[in-house]
Amino acid sequence: FPVAGPALGEARAAAEAVQAVARAARAGRAGAALRALHAASPDLAERGADAAARGAAEAERAAAVAARSASAYSGAVAPAALRGALPAEWTPSQLETYARCPFRLLAGMALGLRDPPATGLDIDPRDEGSLTHAVLERFHRRRLQAGAGPLRGDPAERQALRDAAGDLFRRFEAEGRVGEPAAWAARRGAVLARLERVVAAEAREGDGLAPALVEHRFEGSTALVLADRGEEVRLRGRIDRVDAAPDRLRVVDYKNSADERGHRERIDPEALGATEFQLPAYLLAAAQALPGRRGLEASWLLLKTARRLDLALDAGDGFLAVDEAGRARARAAGGRTFADAATGLVRRIRAGDFPVASRSCAGCALGAVCRFETAAEAEG
């Protein structure tokens, strides 16, 4: 910097004076330090007071993170300030984000922060996931419209899948969503082979169920409505596929992943209604659309390994009770209900309670925003 001589000395003295106020503030003597500084320089005293106030805010944030609670400077938001940011209908993924890190939901929902886009030559993993979902949707929708029934694993099905893939590959290529063409030339064949393995595996595991709904949306008049102390919590979503027979149904959710361990943990009974809200919500929505089935199943279909991870419940399971009487019976028996868990989280969100308290910071790109990335991670 072009500062020399007396000016440089004055700048150093000013910085040291403000730092002295900060040290005094940490020792509980900010008032006396500021009065002494004001006698020498009102301007420096104003800067010192600002530094002390910022330090107090940071101390409050650190204490709130240690306590895993919200405070004025760490995730406590006035409900009135949130009204324009809260949705009329909630998605299971929003509830899961809040359950895993309330502050992360605040950053995305109220502050509008997003994870940075992927960089590199290959297709963005999010676009690859969208592409595989779109191909399977088109393939199964065409079969459903033709009344084809369960998969048989014959060459005609493989050709139908290739036709659906070819149409969508060309569309994504035209939209520039496949990465660099040279890299996509190799990736393209791998994606198609992956989808063929998935369809072939489902045909081998045939159990009498056939697709009944494809890309089923529940929202608006078909939203899942949960009552909560005189208020409503409305859930919306989109189910990749629902297979059905007269006595049972199965929700199938595609995951462009090979992470069997991670997805198996998500369907652990202890995770349902704690960190996992997608499959229970989908089961309730599917049962609402296709009533009368006693057996309810939900599956993650891992596209990279062609493996399915299953969750099975009875329609009368107290965990799925939506009406207040059924929920009360489940509570009296010492059980939990999905409806209570979902409405409880939304009640906390509406109250403006967003502590920096993460169950896991893995995969989060917002560490520079919360600034307590590892300290915020704890059990409980």
CB-based contacts of 349: which residues, under 8 Å, 6+ apart?
A: 82, 86, 98, 102, 105
**31 contacts: CB under 8 Å, gap ≥ 6:** none
d(CA 34, CA 20): 10
- Could you tell me where the DSSP H helices lie in the chain? 6-26, 30-40, 42-67, 79-82, 92-100, 102-109, 125-145, 155-174, 181-204, 260-266, 278-289, 324-332, 338-350, 367-370
What is the three-class DSSP state of 313?
Answer: strand
Is the full-model pTM beyond 0.95? no
Phi and psi for 348 in degrees, rounded to 5? Answer: -65, -40
What CA–CA distance (Å, rounded) separates 306 from 147?
A: 24
Nearest partner of 273 among 362, 342, 365, judged by Cα: 342
What length is written for the chain?
380
Residuewise pLDDT in 10s, the chain (380 residues): 344 455 557 778 888 887 887 788 878 888 888 888 788 788 888 888 888 888 889 899 999 999 999 999 999 999 999 989 999 999 999 999 999 999 999 999 999 998 877 778 899 999 999 999 999 999 999 999 999 999 999 999 999 999 999 999 999 999 999 999 999 998 999 999 999 999 999 999 888 899 999 999 999 999 999 998 888 999 999 999 999 999 999 999 999 999 999 999 999 999 999 999 999 999 999 999 999 999 999 999 999 999 999 999 999 999 999 999 999 999 999 999 999 999 999 999 999 999 999 988 888 888 888 888 777 776 54
Element (H, E) at 42: helix 42-67
d(CA 170, CA 160): 16
Q: Specify which residues 358 forms β-bridges with.
A: 377
CA distance linking residue 380 with residue 378, whole number of Å? 7
